[in-house]
Copies of this chain bind each other. A is one copy, B any other.
Amino acid sequence: MDDTPAWAPESIRQARADLSRLIEPGDLLGSLTVSALGAEPALDLIRSGTGPSDRVQQQVGEAAETAGLTARQRKLAPALERWRTRRGQTGHRRMLDSLRRRGGGLLIPEDAAWPRQLHDLGAAQPVALWFRVAPGESDPYIEAPARLPHPARSVAVVGSREMTDYGAQVAWETARQLAAHGVSVVSGGAYGIDAAAHRGSLEGADEEQRPAVAVLAGGVDRLYPAGNERLLHAVMDRGIIFSEMAPGSAPTRHRFLQRNRLIAALAAATVVVEARWRSGALSTAHHAMDIGRPVGAVPGSVHSASSAGCHRLLRHTPAQLVTDAADVMELVAADAAGVLAAPDGHPAPEGASKPLGESATDGLGDIDRRIYDALPVRSATTPSRLSEVAGLPIPHIFGALTRLERKKLVRRTTAGWGRAGYHPAPQSSG
């Protein structure tokens, strides 16, 4: 697969395969270290057994400060101890090879096929993404890209394990109709609403469509829960399953919660069909809101405990009430005009850069203009400082920076976010 420039060199893939084993999901300093140093140097540092040089600590520390980590969280020495606990479990070349024969592989941010919607997670972007499809005639690396959820035409349909007949019907029917309209349905492969959503999406899509995406909390070699094994095989027949955990990893509570951020980030919108007052599905909704994605919630009886979490979202968050697939499509369309506006997943070409000054910010929405105005003219800043200056919550900041970046009005560097043109050290954010 490294015979085409669309795929990153195999050495980087192998390094990230190992790193996905060493660094737990949501370990922000881990992913920041990998993106600041590069995958191979980061892995070498972990393997070396020596402490970080002052230069390396400074480089990673700056990136971590920009991402809002505390001074304590920015320290590499204790983090290296943490990452070295599984040092014996590296060497994933053989795992990559054997998984490839079973329809699996590893996507990494350096690949052209990397789902660019994951960039919105910022420092919480996964180190790599393991995938698996049903083994067939073609190579999984040829098969996978066509099955990725489209950044603007994908919806996460999630909910509680304890569902009612009502929730089962709504999840199935909504997913079925979404799939029939060519929308990828992303869910977590769990019992209850997740399973109903996967089933509905497989029912609704025709042969040409890529209906189903399941994101697992454990390795893609473990089809968990066991009772959904057949369903997950059906997902792999026509869709794809993902995990940021290396094969062999067990699903833990921490990994379930971290997994939810991937579901939220892979989909253009998240819909909660049924959720109890305290439900993991609410965490998926909050992850989606944190990165500025629209969230829908299905109403139900005020007497149903399985709808209490949905009503909670509708009362206390910007979540929109949705009653059917048409309502969900409105959410997606609204979002497509915003965060995911670039056509076909390709950012605007460099030459499309607008001139700076008053005219460059003409036509910006209120929030984007407010955040642009809050950016320092000759230096960089952090999203949390921007949030304070602009007086807007963090989720707005990320969404707006992404839009402004696409318009070439702002740039992100290791020092943070700044206005394009004035920035001391521009560097690609990819």
Listed in ascending order, the chain A residues whose CB lies under 8 Å from chain B are 166, 169-170, 298-303, 307-308, 311, 314-315, 320-324, 327
Is the beta-carbon distance between A311 and B321 smaller than 8 angstroms?
yes
In whole Å, how far is A79's beta carbon from the nearest beta carbon of chain B?
A: 43
Question: Assuming the A-B contacts A299-B299, A300-B301, are A321 and B315 also in contact, with contact meaning beta carbons closer than 8 angstroms in the complex?
Answer: yes
Is the beta-carbon distance between B302 and A301 smaller than 8 angstroms?
no
In whole Å, how far is A364's beta carbon from the nearest beta carbon of chain B?
A: 18
Residue of B nearest to A330 (CB): B315
Residue of B nearest to A314 (CB): B321
Q: How far is the CA of A311 from the CA of B314 in the complex (A)?
A: 11
Q: How far is the CA of A298 from the CA of B307 in the complex (A)?
A: 13
Q: How far is the CA of A287 from the CA of B327 in the complex (A)?
A: 26
Q: How far is the CA of A11 from the CA of B303 in the complex (A)?
A: 54
Q: How far is the CA of A303 from the CA of B323 in the complex (A)?
A: 8
Interface CB pairs A-B, < 8 A, 8: A166-B301, A299-B301, A300-B300, A302-B323, A311-B323, A315-B320, A315-B321, A315-B322
Contact partner of A315 among B169, B303, B307, B327, CB < 8 A?
A: B327
Is the beta-carbon distance between B299 and A314 smaller than 8 angstroms?
yes
Residue of B nearest to A320 (CB): B315
- For A323, list chain B residues within 8 Å (CB): 302, 308, 311, 315
CB-CB nearest 4 A-B residue pairs: A299-B299, A302-B323, A314-B321, A315-B321
- For A308, list chain B residues within 8 Å (CB): 323
Contact partner of A321 among B170, B298, B299, CB < 8 A?
A: B299
Q: How far is the CA of A298 from the CA of B314 in the complex (A)?
A: 11
Most B Cβ at <10 Å: residue of A300, A301, A302, A324: A302
Residue of B nearest to A166 (CB): B301
Residue of B nearest to A313 (CB): B321
In whole Å, how far is A392's beta carbon from the nearest beta carbon of chain B?
A: 15
In whole Å, how far is A58's beta carbon from the nearest beta carbon of chain B?
A: 44
Residue of B nearest to A327 (CB): B315
In whole Å, how far is A168's beta carbon from the nearest beta carbon of chain B?
A: 12
In whole Å, how far is A166's beta carbon from the nearest beta carbon of chain B?
A: 6
Most B Cβ at <10 Å: residue of A169, A315, A327: A315
Q: How far is the CA of A376 from the CA of B308 in the complex (A)?
A: 48
Q: How far is the CA of A315 from the CA of B169 in the complex (A)?
A: 21
Q: How far is the CA of A261 from the CA of B324 in the complex (A)?
A: 32
Q: How far is the CA of A308 from the CA of B327 in the complex (A)?
A: 13
Residue of B nearest to A307 (CB): B299
- For A320, list chain B residues within 8 Å (CB): 315
Q: How far is the CA of A324 from the CA of B169 in the complex (A)?
A: 25
Most B Cβ at <10 Å: residue of A169, A170, A299, A300: A299
In whole Å, how far is A406's beta carbon from the nearest beta carbon of chain B?
A: 29
Residue of B nearest to A310 (CB): B299
In whole Å, how far is A202's beta carbon from the nearest beta carbon of chain B?
A: 22
Residue of B nearest to A308 (CB): B323
In whole Å, how far is A35's beta carbon from the nearest beta carbon of chain B?
A: 40
- For A166, list chain B residues within 8 Å (CB): 301, 303
- For A303, list chain B residues within 8 Å (CB): 166, 169
Q: How far is the CA of A320 from the CA of B302 in the complex (A)?
A: 14
Q: How far is the CA of A323 from the CA of B312 in the complex (A)?
A: 9
Residue of B nearest to A170 (CB): B302
- For A315, list chain B residues within 8 Å (CB): 320-323, 327
In whole Å, how far is A284's beta carbon from the nearest beta carbon of chain B?
A: 20
Q: How far is the CA of A157 from the CA of B221 in the complex (A)?
A: 55
Q: How far is the CA of A307 from the CA of B327 in the complex (A)?
A: 16
Q: How far is the CA of A315 from the CA of B314 in the complex (A)?
A: 10
Is the beta-carbon distance between B298 and A302 smaller than 8 angstroms?
yes
- For A298, list chain B residues within 8 Å (CB): 302
In whole Å, how far is A102's beta carbon from the nearest beta carbon of chain B?
A: 40
Q: How far is the CA of A322 from the CA of B320 in the complex (A)?
A: 14
